[in-house]
Amino acid sequence: MPLSLDALNDDILIYIFAALSIPDILILRQVSRRLSLLSRQYAVWYNACKSEILHDDIPFPKSPLTSLTTKDLERQTLRAYKLGTNWRSSNTKLYHVAEVANKSESIEEIKFLTHREQHWVVTTSRGIWSDLYLRDCDTLQVVAQWSPGKALFNGMAVNTDHDSDAAIAIAVQRNGVMSVEILSLSHDDPTSGVEIQSVATLNTCHKPIALRGDLVALCDHDSETLILNWKTQEQCLLKSPETRKDKPLHVIFAEGSIFVVRARSTCVFTEPRMLSQGNGLPITLPYVFVSFGWVDGVALALRPSTQFHTTSSSQPSLSILVRTKGDDPWRLEDQFKFSTFNATQNSTSPSTSHPDAPSIDNDTGTFPFTPVSRLYSPHHGPLRCSDMVLGPYGTAVWVQPADWAMAGLLSENGYLNYIPAAPSKETLVVAIFPGPLNRGSPEACIKVSFENNGFAWSCLDYDEERGLIALGSNFGGLTMFRL
């Protein structure tokens, strides 16, 4: 008499599920009611997530698997599997999720925010005065609003620690006085919705660039970066080389080091000891200073480090993507240089460096950024949205501007002729660089692009783990895409 699956006990069936791919699990659950129930067990999706997602270098939330319910684990595993399959497909697709418009306000900044297992999109808008909106990730509808009154915003950072009391740091200019407000979110009671509250006011002219736990990184537009604990008021001061009007772009805390990226300089500091303000504030200088020249944009990300993929080095593992600003104003393309950080790699002389290497200025003779790959993208027109986001797994998103066009009445052989402008539109570009998701390929490539048919984009953000891209425009439009 032939055996059937129903004759096997549950433990053996769980082992069988562990040997199947995710599509096969979904097929097998349709065979019978018993297999359907077993396929929804926590052990099935725990094994599937480890073997099909984590071991296969597909982006997944950093929270421990044991913290997820069975339903959430299955949902997130299926979503990650679809995302990884889409990235590795020869025909990567981009799906339009939602779009809203409010022509009375210009969108200045947009950020994805995860706070205590809830996901939102945060936008700052300016009409006569500035407002901050917390929006639903699926519909982009407003769920909460915060405004300090007759004031303007000048920079925002969201917390990378999803469980911190502080969720947002935002620079506020009111009556000519600058300050930074630390905002918290209250959403424990589902009946009362979400409430945004200010929990601290920092009297500073510096701009918030990063927020990690209780630490906020505040930068001026020259060389100073103040790291401040907003609860204890302990702080430390980092000093980049003097470069006038060096706009701050990113601050990243990484394994005892702090990366400070500005428009014309990239510095690496050893994370100093925090001191109370009354004890005097010593200045910390960088142990690595790199200049990539004049750039149009810089994006950087910590490469993934999980229980399955760890590095033996105590140095931070980081990737950086630079969009260079060439000397030729008539250039027809942008160059994107992708490099990795390696603080232990030595270079005996500049001549032994990679030909694409940036200039360096440090006493150790180290060459900290190793060029890996580069990519060219058409670029003919003005760059309105300079935001560029690089994910830990090597995927990146940016906006390619519309072309300049020759149009109007032009003279040729003494006669005036009207030459119409060729149609051109902004383009959202989604690319992949060497990294875990690229399966070891040394080549970078553009995976998918989307032409903008609406108003000009002014800002963007990208959530690699969930494959979401959010864009805002100067005319109040918001658009969401999903990979």
448, 93 Cβ separation under 8 angstroms: yes
List alpha helices for 67-182, DSSP H.
70-88
pLDDT (0 to 100) of residue 95: 92
DSSP labels, 336-377: EEEEEE-TT-B-SSGGGS-TTPPEE--TT-B--EEEEEEEEE
CA 106 vs CA 50, 127, 384: distances in Å = 43, 7, 13
Q: Using CA atoms, how far apart are residues 216 and 251, in angstroms rounded to an integer?
A: 10
Q: Going by C-beta distance under 8 Å and a sequence separation of 6 or more, which residues neighbour residue 105?
A: 125, 126, 127, 131, 476
Query: Strands 295-302 and 457-463: what pairing?
Result: unpaired
Mean pLDDT value of segment 338-365: 48
* 254: confidence class by pLDDT, cuts 50, 70, 90: confident
Q: Name the DSSP letter for residue 54.
A: I
Average pLDDT, the chain: 82
* The token pair that represents 400 in the structure block: 């390619």
Only one residue has tokens 């990239």, namely 266
Cβ–Cβ contacts within 10 Å for residue 296, how many?
Answer: 18
> Does pLDDT of 312 surpass 80?
no
456, 473 Cβ separation under 8 angstroms: yes
Please state the domain extents for the chain: 5-88
> Does pLDDT of 111 surpass 90?
yes
Find the range with the poorest average confidence among 48-62, 138-152, 264-278, 455-469.
264-278
Mean pLDDT value of segment 168-178: 90
* The token pair that represents 150 in the structure block: 């007759």
pLDDT (0 to 100) of residue 4: 73
pLDDT digits (tens, 9 = 90+) for 354-410: 334 444 444 444 457 888 888 887 766 677 888 999 999 999 999 988 776 555 555
pLDDT digits (tens, 9 = 90+) for 69-101: 999 999 999 999 999 999 999 899 999 988 888
> Does pLDDT of 337 surpass 70?
yes
Instruction: Decide which of 1.10.3470, 1.20.1280, 3.30.70, 1.10.10 is the CATH code for 5-88.
Output: 1.20.1280
Mean pLDDT value of segment 29-39: 87
pLDDT (0 to 100) of residue 355: 39
Q: Which residue has the higher pLDDT, 355 or 130?
A: 130
* Of the candidates 302, 377, 279, the residue with the CA atom closest to the CA atom of residue 334: 377
pLDDT (0 to 100) of residue 363: 42
Q: Is 440 exposed, middle or buried (0-12, 13-18, 19+ CB in 10 A)?
A: exposed
Only one residue has tokens 């701009």, namely 207
* Of the candidates 251, 255, 288, the residue with the CA atom closest to the CA atom of residue 271: 255
Mean pLDDT value of segment 418-439: 78
- Give, in degrees to the nearest 5, the angle at Cα 60 between 58 and 65: 125
> Does pLDDT of 306 surpass 70?
no
Only one residue has tokens 């339009």, namely 96
Burial letters for 48-58: b for 16+ Cβ neighbours within 10 Å, e otherwise? bbbebbbebbb
* 332: confidence class by pLDDT, cuts 50, 70, 90: low
* Of the candidates 386, 450, 380, 456, the residue with the CA atom closest to the CA atom of residue 422: 380
Strand, helix or coil at 173?
strand
* 290: confidence class by pLDDT, cuts 50, 70, 90: confident
Only one residue has tokens 């609406």, namely 454
Phi-psi region of 293 (alpha: psi -120 to 50; beta: other; left: phi over 0): left
pLDDT (0 to 100) of residue 349: 32
Residue ranges of E strands in 77-146: 95-100, 106-115, 118-126, 130-136, 142-146
> Does pLDDT of 308 surpass 60?
no
